[in-house]
Copies of this chain bind each other. A is one copy, B any other.
Amino acid sequence: MSVPRPVFLLTDFGIGGYYAGVMRGVIAARAPGCAIHDLSHGIRPGHCREAAYVLEAALPFLPADAVVVVVVDPGVGSPRRILGLRLRERSLLAPDNGILTPFFEDPQAVLHQVDREDLSLPERSRTFHGRDVFAPVAASLATGLREEELGVRVADPFRLEIAAAREEPPGLRGEIVYVDPFGNLVSNIDRATLQSWRGDRRVRVSVKGAIVGPVVGTYADVAVGQLLAYVGSTGHLEVAVRDGRADTALGAGVGATIDVEVSA
């Protein structure tokens, strides 16, 4: 028998409980030898937009044959569907609540509904499909099941409205879409958008009206304790405090406005 595909878990289960652990148990029981990895269990409860951001940021770095299981599922037990998305050699499982939105436009994406009850655990609760449906289905995919076998094709998935940065003369306006564990504020302004707008002009970044400064290269380009703006590791404009926390320094979180303007 061949080695199972590696499985990555992304949930809002938090770090104190055993829910992720019991999902590991189900997968390990049904796919012995499977490498099971925690991508993160720290999505804020029910925050689908945050899960979508993390998934989009992380996916390119995961193994080409990874099975990624996303359980951020405030609608668990309701008639909401569960989706299986094939993206080249990778497989993603998630509730049909918009978390997979970043991949819908990819011409390679193929979307199926999970409607094979025989793949679930024999007793299926109405409040913990991570354990009872997602984990056993992931184990099946890891051991060779193909997406076509999950259920019918889906053409009308639920889509999240994902805000794009926009020109708002005289500047470029975006918003904070993720706060990382260091308190760094990640925006929806990507490198290409920033570059095409600014050209060769010197710019100044502000968050919620508070001036951060020009766009620099990395933390060490400013003094300890200073605010800085830079293009971060996901290619988005970020704001941080060197050796500190920008979220508390600026009183800003997800949804805060970020502006780029030409500096004097």
Contacts and interface: CB of A to CB of B under 8 A. Distances in A.
Chain A contact surface mostly: loop
Interface stretch (A99-107, A123-131, A203-211): A123-131
A180 B28 contact: no
A38 B21 contact: yes
Given A78-B220, A126-B218, A232-B125, A35 B28 contact: yes
B16 A181 contact: yes
A200 B13 CA distance: 35
A77 interface: yes
Given A8-B25, A21-B38, A127 B13 contact: no
A62 interface: yes
Interface string A15-46: 11111111011101100110111111010011
A132 B234 CA distance: 11
Interface residues of A, number: 63
Nearest to A128: B233
A151 interface: no
Interface stretch (A53-61, A110-118, A165-173): A53-61
Determine how many copies of this chain the complex contains.
3
Contacts of A194: none
A253 to B, nearest CB: 13
A24 to B, nearest CB: 5
A137 to B, nearest CB: 15
Given A17-B40, A17-B180, A181-B13, A25 B64 contact: no
The residue in A36, A220, A233 that gathers the most chain B C-beta atoms within 10 A of its C-beta is A233
Interface string A74-101: 1111100000000000000000000000
A170 to B, nearest CB: 28
The 7 closest A-B pairs by CB, nearest first: A77-B218, A16-B42, A14-B181, A128-B233, A78-B220, A21-B39, A18-B40
Given A10-B18, A15-B181, 16 more contacts: A8-B21, A8-B24, A10-B21, A17-B42, A17-B180, A21-B38, A25-B39, A25-B63, A28-B37, A29-B62, A35-B36, A61-B131, A76-B218, A78-B220, A125-B233, A128-B233
